[in-house]
């Protein structure tokens, strides 16, 4: 079985909207926070310049409301790896019972050379690290 990256999510008071649950746009912030931690783990670096990709697509399916008292964990899996891009799958679950799913999402990242302003190939080293979570 392949690895799943898990990242604890702390629901902040400012995440809550007038209906008493986490606003839909905040889920993308949760995805971004976990994605950053995932890249820091697989690159063994906190240097942002090593994360040379652009976000080409992101989506979220909302399955149940998240409230201020929800205890959450965000799971990330690598869905696919292409020549210049790779897809991630997200699953926001209850921290104590991962059978309870609040949301699922996907994103596509394109490797990018910011100096040349163009997409670049997924390196063999990055591919090897991503495969561990596929």
- What is the model's pLDDT at position 45? 82
- What is the model's pLDDT at position 83? 98
- What is the model's pLDDT at position 51? 79
pLDDT in tens, 60-119: 999 999 999 999 999 999 999 999 999 999 999 999 999 999 999 999 999 999 999 999
List the CATH number of the domain containing 126. 3.10.129.10
Asked whether the predicted pLDDT for residue 18 surpasses 60, the reply is yes
68: left (phi over 0), alpha (psi -120 to 50) or beta: alpha
Total of domains in the chain: 1
**What domain range includes position 127?**
5-131
- What is the model's pLDDT at position 44? 87
pLDDT in tens, 21-71: 999 999 999 999 999 999 999 988 888 777 789 999 999 999 999 999 999
Asked whether the predicted pLDDT for residue 1 surpasses 60, the reply is no
């Amino acid at each position: 079985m392949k690895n799943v990256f898990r990242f604890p999510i702390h629901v902040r008071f400012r995440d809550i909207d007038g209906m008493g649950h986490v606003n839909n746009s905040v889920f993308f912030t949760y995805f971004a926070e976990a994605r950053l931690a995932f890249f820091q783990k697989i690159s063994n670096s906190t240097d942002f310049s090593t994360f040379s990709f652009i976000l080409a697509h992101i989506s979220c399916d909302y399955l149940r409301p998240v409230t201020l008292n929800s205890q959450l964990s965000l799971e990330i899996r690598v869905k696919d790896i292409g020549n210049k891009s790779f897809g991630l799958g997200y699953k926001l679950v209850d921290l104590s019972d991962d059978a309870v799913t609040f949301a699922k999402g996907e994103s596509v990242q394109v490797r990018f050379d910011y100096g040349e302003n163009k997409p670049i190939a997924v390196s063999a080293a990055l591919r090897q690290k991503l495969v561990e979570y596929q």
